[in-house]
Structure 1
Amino acid sequence: MNLRTGWSKEIWKGVCNNMASIRERNGKFNVIYSYTNEKGERKQKWETYETKAEAKRRKKEIEYKKEMGSFVVRKCKTLDELITEYVALYGKENWALSTYEGNVSLINNYILPIIGDTKLSEINTRFIERYYQSLLKRRAVINPLNKTSRNEFVSSSTVRDINKLLRNCFEQAVKWELMEKNPCTHATVPKHKSQKRDIWTADTLMYALSVCEDERLKLAINLSFSCSLRLGELLGLTWDCVDISHEAIEENRAYVFINKESQRIRKESLNALDGKDVLLVFPTNHKKNSTVRILKTPKTE
């Protein structure tokens, strides 16, 4: 018996099941409620609205219809609706911070603006292949973090990344019984020819070290080359990760251990994942900055 209401546990559980809640995230308002699917499994669903007023109306509608026994769970009708739910239910639980950042950029730059309004019932393998071909003729979006674009047009490599993302998204849609089959399974993806990167030779390295007058930069160059460190790993080094004492060198046990890396990310991504994998957020001098530098656990994927 509930002391405050005088209700039994069964009645209280029924009341809670009829309730919906509103959560604000990234300037939008999510209506969250639970339901039971055809298999008798308890599920949670998020619906996103632009204004709080819309969210409140939907919340009242859900609670009223649940009480009347006439509530039916909305199903995703467009790709926009599916991807929104896919990111909320799958992406935020399974993606690392860097993966989330990259996938959301692909979604916002190349998927939703082009085919976001398409009904799921209209998406098949032929549609996907035509979409991929159209991307190759589309100008690439400039990266806001470095203000540059590697290619004038969308590259085949980017299209392959989009295919990987959509394939997984549609696979979830099949599991959620929103689509009968995955349209990406048999889709032909543009071939990508990997270009050989120019790398420094030993002579180039020795010359760079000889002309470098900044001792810290010289050390960074040496470490990067000898330990095969990425820039983020190099910037994330602290003294507790290093043992280059005379004793360690003499005993052949000197080491550089990577347990964190530095990265600049969007504040929006940081908030969306509630600081997942983040060890430290560096202070910023400008509150209006859309990005922030962090220390995070190292990339393992």
Structure 2
Amino acid sequence: MIFPSQKKNNRTVRVLKTPKTDSSVRKVFISKSVAQCLIALKADQDEIKEVLGNEYQDYNLVMATTFGLPIGDSYLRTKMQEIIDALGLPDVVFHSLRHTSVTYKLKLSGGDIKAVQGDSGHAQADMVTEVYGHILDEDRRKNAEMMENAFYNKENLNPQMKGSEESGNTIAVPDGVDAELLMKVLGNPEMAALLTSLAKTMKV
């Protein structure tokens, strides 16, 4: 489909056609907040259609101009720059939003590359790891630090257990240590005995 030009004597036209790759045709899951924004946008479009009547060119677009035509990339860049300037944010390009989305999804999903790949449209999972592998490396470094604090720190290997008939046994969990994971480890008699033995040998 070729859209009519929005400017006189303009030979440049916008074309709507099928995506160039199969991976570009995909189902995308959106959050409730985004869905509500799209519903509100659709309601606004319906009102505009009713007011403009035949003047509105309905191409069944999700994002469209006031008269129903596709939104140009220059308009997006202009509006994004206005938001950046108004909020005092660092200068970025529109495509940066895609990188930000993939980065946060990797962080929030705990590195679920396959799930993120489905949204981003990367043909292969290794393409995600190649571009965003440093994000996963950061989490791996943090995991290593947590293991250091939980199992090899001298103070942490000798937790202060406080007995009380009313409240039972409690343990002071160091900052940055997963309390649930630590309790599971200490709940294993063999592991608890090993850690206690190590703690005694490492005392200064």
**Shared fold per TM-score greater than 0.5:** no
Whichever structure has more helix as a proportion of its residues is 2
Between structure 1 and structure 2, the one with the greater Rg is 2
Whichever structure has more strand as a proportion of its residues is 1
TM-score normalised to the size of structure 1? 0.22
